[in-house]
């Protein structure tokens, strides 16, 4: 899985009986490239620097930068970040409601004030 922040143009394609949405953008292509890179980096979850930049302080602390890359259709090199969550760290909580947030205890003390 990968996450990236960018723009896209939506267009309708199809026939009179069925219409599908199509999205065109170099940012869509970058999202696909990041998914392809998950095996190379040994991470199941990659985040682009564009998305990392808008994360909360708590979320940024949980991520680690793994590389700086360049791709032909993006002018400037950018960072790739990973969020590694070992399977044994996720524990089922008896009172948890589906869709609710589960807070990580080690991140509760992080100060989220802006400097």
pLDDT in tens, 22-49: 877 888 888 888 888 888 888 888 999 9
Name which of 43-47, 61-65, 96-100 the model is least confident about.
96-100
- What band does 80 get if pLDDT is binned at 50, 70 and 90? very high
Q: What does the pLDDT read at residue 54?
A: 92
Nearest CA among 75, 78, 55 for reference residue 65: 78
Please tell me the distance from the alpha carbon of residue 48 to that of residue 79, in angstroms, as a whole number.
6
Would you say residue 114 has pLDDT above 60?
A: no
């Amino acid at each position: 899985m990968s996450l990236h922040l960018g723009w896209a143009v939506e267009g309708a394609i199809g026939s009179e009986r069925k219409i599908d949405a199509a999205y065109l953008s170099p940012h869509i292509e970058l999202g696909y490239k990041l998914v392809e890179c998950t095996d190379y980096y040994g991470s199941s979850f990659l985040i682009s620097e564009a998305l990392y930049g808008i994360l909360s302080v708590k979320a940024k602390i949980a991520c680690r930068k793994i590389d700086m890359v360049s791709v032909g259709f993006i002018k400037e090199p950018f960072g790739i970040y990973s969020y590694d969550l070992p399977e044994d760290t996720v524990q089922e909580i008896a009172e948890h409601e589906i869709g609710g947030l589960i807070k990580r205890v080690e991140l509760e003390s992080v100060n989220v004030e802006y400097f």
